[in-house]
Amino acid sequence: MAFALDKVVPWGRSYEEYVRMFNLTERELEGRILGCGDGPASFNAEATQRGHSVISCDPIYQFTAAEIAQRIDEAYQQVIDQLGKNTEDYVWDLMPTPEAVGQTRMAAMRRFLDDFPRGVKEGRYVDASLPYLPFQDKEFDLALCSHFLFLYTEQLSQEFHLDSIIELCRVATEVRIFPLLNLGVNISAYVAPVTAALEQRGGRVEFRRVPYEFQKGAHTAMYIVS
């Protein structure tokens, strides 16, 4: 997936953001969780510190912490500039300026970078790429995918999306994906055909509003049980 890796920005959110994006309950957080495409998010680091069981997988984990830090630094100004140019596409209630977003995200990513070497040794950060995951059938209660599937609709095919979600369903009892918008802040054209294909295979697909909205209109997660 070198193509996706080049096109996808290494940018990470916090535990608190994951809890809201996926509307995670305390009970759900007690289960075995896979974060797929977690990149430099601090979800794993913070969840582990709270005693939860989280494994993250991402092709970026083939790199060292120093190499990932360099990629983050390279992406930082580009992301902040894009936010500044498209302010009308975002909700600025919790983080009022692009710089405030940058500070919050950098704090999460530093937390990830501090945890990464230890997490690799503990098997919590696994170098793996959709659509193939090195995990057993139903090894996880919940698989979460934040800001990768559907967001990169222009870069990744519909077939890649369907194969990836089928793979996530293989390794987890339930799969949640957020957001359902592409980078152009429109609902991804893949949502309807992928939903139909999953339902045809016997999956149950639901769309639930979650208590998180930064990209305007991105407030709904896809829940899949198969």
Ligand X SMILES: C[S@@+](CC[C@H](N)C(=O)[O-])C[C@H]1O[C@@H](n2cnc3c(N)ncnc32)[C@H](O)[C@@H]1O
CB nearer to ligand X: give 178 or 223.
178
- Which member of 4, 65, 94, 187 binds ligand X (CB under 6 A)? 4
CB nearer to ligand X: give 108 or 191.
108
CB nearer to ligand X: give 214 or 223.
214
Supply the minimum distance, in Å, between the C-beta of residue 58 and ligand X.
Answer: 5
- Which member of 33, 47, 58, 205 binds ligand X (CB under 6 A)? 58
The alpha carbon of residue 35 and the mean position of all alpha carbons in its chain are separated, in whole angstroms, by 7
Please identify, among the stretches 57-65, 74-82, 190-198, 213-221, the one whose residues bind ligand X according to the rule CB under 6 A. 57-65
CB under 8 Å, gap of 24 or more: what pairs does 100-104 form? 101/214, 102/76, 104/14
Rounded distance between C-alpha atoms, residue 53 and residue 24, angstroms: 14
Strand 53-57 with 32-36, pairing: parallel
Handedness of CA 61, 62, 66, 67 (dihedral sign): negative
11 scored as a contact of ligand X (CB under 6 A): yes
Please identify, among the stretches 58-66, 95-103, 113-121, 191-199, the one whose residues bind ligand X according to the rule CB under 6 A. 58-66
Supply the minimum distance, in Å, between the C-beta of residue 190 and ligand X.
Answer: 15
Nearest residue by C-beta to ligand X? 39
Radius of gyration of the chain (CA): 16
Give the DSSP H or E segment for 225.
Answer: strand 220-225
What residues numbered 111-170 form the site for ligand X, per CB under 6 A?
A: 129-130, 146-148
- Which member of 31, 59, 203, 217 binds ligand X (CB under 6 A)? 59
60 scored as a contact of ligand X (CB under 6 A): yes
Strand 140-146 with 172-178, pairing: parallel
Q: Which of 115, 118, 177 is nearest to 142 (CA)?
A: 177
**Coil, helix or strand at residue 217:** coil
Residues lying near ligand X in the complex (CB under 6 A) are found at 1, 4-5, 8-13, 36-39, 41, 58-60, 129-130, 146-148
